[in-house]
Structure 1
Amino acid sequence: MAGQALAQSDTAPTQKATQSDFSLQANVSLVSQYRVRGLMQTDNKPALQGGLDLTHSSGFYVGNWNSSITWLSDSDDRVSAPVEMDFYGGYTTKVWKDLSVDLGAIRYYYPGSFPSGYVSPDTTEVYAGVGYGPVS
């Protein structure tokens, strides 16, 4: 009996789990074709895509998304830019019940080699979005 009491009282100290205000998510996919705004980016070829998103409980977020592409070299064989890299950041919050808003900026970057005088395809856009429940 004394052995049982001793065994029961000899418990490990409990540790409190800490929860971070940050969340990191990764994604990767292989798609049959990559299109943006209805425009083909991979000339009917598959694309490998992936990214990372870091979000904070306050609503702020940053991320990176990448995809293989062919559209730049499809139009000019002197161009070597096989990847699109998107860098973005913003803020999202609920404004009323299921209604949310999302404000941010995104940089579309195409690393590679371009002939002299070639206009850079890199662009930066500011965006605003509205969502209701699962629809955004």
Structure 2
Amino acid sequence: MKTSRLAAFGRRTFGARRDLPPVTVSTPPAPAVGLTPAEKQAAATGSVLAEIRAERNRQDAKFGEQNHPDGTGTTGYIAKARAAREKCQRDALSADGPLWSLVLLEEVYEALAEADPAQLRAELVQVAAVACAWIEAIDRRTR
């Protein structure tokens, strides 16, 4: 009997992560005093990237190297990417600008719509950059 890819990974990939150290919820960095705007931005991004590296280390410790198929470039994802882009563009016209959730979803669906590995990689970098920017915005709001 053949096992589905999802079932084959079972708890190893998608289950609870009880054997990993708990994720540390960090407090936002203190406002940088006496730094230029570019230096403040670099410090904020560096702080977020350090947390991401720590999370990747936890994932590697639990799962080891992961080499799953991409599963991207399907007609369904292409349609969802188009819809997400249109919704984000409409929301951008509001007085407050677009919601972070819509900006991130637009980038995620654009990545999922890509079949070409180089284009997929470029889109995933954009997903990571938007996620990082959103975390930085949360940190600015919660100082």
More strand by share: 1
> Where on the TM-score scale, by shorter chain, does this alignment land: which range?
under 0.3
TM-score normalised over the length of structure 2: 0.17
Q: Which has the larger radius of gyration?
A: 1
RCO higher in 1 or 2 (8 Å CA, sep ≥ 6)?
Answer: 2
TM-score normalised over the length of structure 1: 0.18
